[in-house]
A and B are shown apart, each in its own frame.
Chain A
Amino acid sequence: MSEAIRQESPLVERITSGRKAASPSDAGITLRERPFLGCVNLRGNPDDPDFTDAVKGVLGLALPSGPNTVADSGDITAFWLAPTEWFVRTGANAERDLIAGLEEALAGQHIATNDVTGNFTTVELSGPHARDVLEKGCTLDLHPRAFAPGQCAQTLLGHAGILIRPLADGQAFEIVVRRSFADYMFIWLEDATVEYGGMAVSD
């Protein structure tokens, strides 16, 4: 019998030391996974100051109130998902403390916290052709004039539902994808990148 449950990324069979070593030097995009980040789905009423103030006290940031916006503070990132729903992400293995903190601060309120850590993984795409590749399978306008840092969107990449946001420089992107679609997305990206010099995989 095994004594410990081993945490395993859904991309464990794709992101191998051999695959990293085989990365093309002039790759059009570079993929980096950030596995095991704590993920919490938070529901509540954004018009209730008791809710927003208490959440701010725990997260250290105000929940983004505008549709398709995102806020960062330290390890914490809060994505707007819907008018009463946010995706709060924290550091690896920090989700239980975060939920405990939220539950304590929001005790008695009409809210919900759900640990969805095991449901998602996060990847970062960078490189000169990151936007070109994504636009082959995503119908949003990802140009910085339309999709700038601070914005996020839930949409489709190929057939996979994703949560995407541009990173600080507007050239790289962060994608949160369901665990069960991560392998599909990796293969889709590899294929879509062939014409741009292939996809590198990094730590």
Chain B
Amino acid sequence: MLHIKCPWCGWRDESEFGYGGEAHIERPKDPDSVSDAEWADYLFFGSNRRGDFRERWVHSAGCRRWFNAVRDTTTYEFKAFYRMGEEPPGGEQ
């Protein structure tokens, strides 16, 4: 069981949360103007990063807010939690 720190509610068990995949993926501003390949890249291809990975979680059994976390995909260790709209810690990935 992972322990996850909701930016509002504090530490709770993983069973209270839902997973939202990779964070900071930007939707093309004008979907009609991108090629099928670019759209497919946006939609289907994540970075599949080994190591620190920025991802979205939602505290679905609590305050129902979305937030971001940095988790090491090899050890499952959480490195940081931060709110939507906040700068991710650690700079560029």
Residues of chain A at the chain B interface (Cβ within 8 Å): 67-68, 81-83, 85, 139-140, 153-156, 161
* Bound: A140/B62 CA distance, A: 12
* Bound: A81/B8 CA distance, A: 10
Chain A residue nearest to B8 (CB atoms) is A67
B16 contact set on A, CB distance < 8 A: 139, 155-156
Interface contact B8-A155, CB-CB below 8 Å? no
A68 contact set on B, CB distance < 8 A: 8-10
Given contacts A139-B15, A155-B16, A156-B15, contact A82 B8 (CB under 8 A): yes
Interface contact A139-B13, CB-CB below 8 Å? yes
B8 contact set on A, CB distance < 8 A: 67-68, 82-83
Q: Count of B residues near A, CB < 8 Å?
A: 12
| From B13, B62, B64, B65, contact of A153 by CB (8 A) | B62
| From A67, A82, A83, A154, contact of B61 by CB (8 A) | A154
A139 contact set on B, CB distance < 8 A: 12-13, 15-16
Main secondary structure of the interface of A (DSSP, over half): strand
B34 contact set on A, CB distance < 8 A: none
B13 contact set on A, CB distance < 8 A: 139
* Bound: A67/B15 CA distance, A: 20
Interface contact A156-B61, CB-CB below 8 Å? yes
Interface contact B15-A82, CB-CB below 8 Å? no
Interface contact B62-A154, CB-CB below 8 Å? yes
Closest 8 CB pairs of A and B: A82-B63, A67-B8, A139-B13, A154-B62, A156-B61, A161-B61, A67-B9, A82-B65
